[in-house]
Amino acid sequence: MTATTTKVQIKQSPQLDTKIKLRDIINTLPKEVFVKNSKKAWSKLIINVLLVGLGYWALAVSPWFVLPFLWIFVGTGLTGFFVIGHDCGHRSFSNRNWVNDLVGHLLFLPLIYPYHAWRILHNHHHKHTNKLKVDNAWDPFTSEDYAQFSPLVQWFYRRLRGWFWWVGSIAHWASLHFNWWQFEGKQRQQVRFSVLVVLLGGGIFLPTLLITTGFWGLVKFWLLPWLVYHFWMSTFTIVHHTMPEIPFQSESEWHEASAQLCGTVHCKYPWWVEFLCHDINVHIPHHLSSGIPWYNLRQAHQSLKENWRDYLYESEFSWSLMKKVAEQCHLYDEQNNYRTFKTYHHSN
């Protein structure tokens, strides 16, 4: 299935045989895609840091009419920070866990994102991808869920599942990643440490920025790049698993191999976005095995196209694609995958 900038084609993927296991699909991938390459990992990290640093320097010296382009550039570069930290969370950046955790914390710090909280919750998403009411990343409400909420919550939910999808990751970040008491044992200690790191870092950096550059400096150097970062986080996350043709399944019917192969979207973005965000959009092989480093995702995806082409959902980032998601993927309906808010309110 493909989508162009002018028209999104809709075609339901063939059903994967339930006898096929996730391991059967993984075994068709070349062995070399699982191999970590320290040179590639560290060189791309250094390039990412230098580009973001260049962007901040340009923000400091450029005239006002250049600033919107620089906010987009810096915010997208900060999304690259997150993607490398994302690999750290999956232990696919380094063979040493302490290196993964150190780099992950440092890269997440400018985003005010508690690393261990995200790592633990995100691994839950990988384990339960598209499992209705269990997956914790953009799991859609059913009509029954929606009916139980107050009018105010319903209003916010309609915004987040509609044209304000791009702030969804802010709500996800704020509501799930700072309450360490929801975790147990060692995980609670790890999450509390990560929360304290970002609170301390943010507590020092943001007031210092405000004092030295004023309110406009806080907006210019932090808030607007941070909002661009969340635009990409929200967009990547919702597009990766939310299409009218892609079902969520109840726990009793959920099939792991189908969810990871057929329930994940490969979306093509402009080349500069894919470069700065380290090919996170090449997402299907990442869900088959989170141990594949980002620099091997394209090779793994090519292998999937050779062996499993009929089961892949591929699209292209465009206005028509986001219009499709924002206008159709509202409340989950197991028979039709989704129903819109409009049809729900008309029937009630």
- 238-251, pLDDT tens digit by residue? 999 999 999 999 99
CA distances from 331 to 159, 161, 167, 231, 285 (A): 13, 9, 18, 22, 28
Question: Does residue 231 have a pLDDT over 90?
Answer: yes
Q: Which is nearest to 294 in space by CA: 303, 281, 304? A: 281
Question: Does residue 76 have a pLDDT over 90?
Answer: yes
Per-residue confidence (pLDDT) for residue 4, from 0 to 100? 37
Question: Does residue 185 have a pLDDT over 60?
Answer: yes
Per-residue confidence (pLDDT) for residue 11, from 0 to 100? 46
Q: Which is nearest to 89 in space by CA: 107, 67, 112? A: 107
Work out the average pLDDT over 297-308: 97
Tell me the three-class secondary structure of 312-345, residue by residue: CEEEECCHHHHHHHHHHCCEEECCCEEECHHHHH
Work out the average pLDDT over 183-212: 97
**Based on C-alpha coordinates, what's the Rg of the chain?**
20
- Local confidence band at 137 (pLDDT 50, 70, 90 cut-offs): confident
Work out the average pLDDT over 223-241: 96
Instruction: Please tell me whether residue 61 adopts helix, strand or coil conformation.
Output: helix
Per-residue confidence (pLDDT) for residue 267, from 0 to 100? 96
Per-residue confidence (pLDDT) for residue 7, from 0 to 100? 35
Q: Any idea which of 28-32, 87-91, 227-231, 330-334 has the lowest mean pLDDT?
A: 330-334
Average pLDDT, the chain: 93
Per-residue confidence (pLDDT) for residue 5, from 0 to 100? 34
Work out the average pLDDT over 318-330: 94
Per-residue confidence (pLDDT) for residue 18, from 0 to 100? 87
Rounded to an integer, what distance in angstroms lies between the CA atom of residue 301 and that of residue 135? Answer: 24
Per-residue confidence (pLDDT) for residue 6, from 0 to 100? 34
Structure tokens at 307: 């062996």
Question: Does residue 127 have a pLDDT over 90?
Answer: yes
- Local confidence band at 322 (pLDDT 50, 70, 90 cut-offs): very high
Per-residue confidence (pLDDT) for residue 15, from 0 to 100? 74
Per-residue confidence (pLDDT) for residue 12, from 0 to 100? 52
Share of residues in the chain with pLDDT > 70 (%)? 96
Work out the average pLDDT over 141-161: 93
Work out the average pLDDT over 174-192: 95
Rounded to an integer, what distance in angstroms lies between the CA atom of residue 108 and that of residue 199? Answer: 12
- Local confidence band at 14 (pLDDT 50, 70, 90 cut-offs): low
Per-residue confidence (pLDDT) for residue 16, from 0 to 100? 87
- Local confidence band at 139 (pLDDT 50, 70, 90 cut-offs): confident
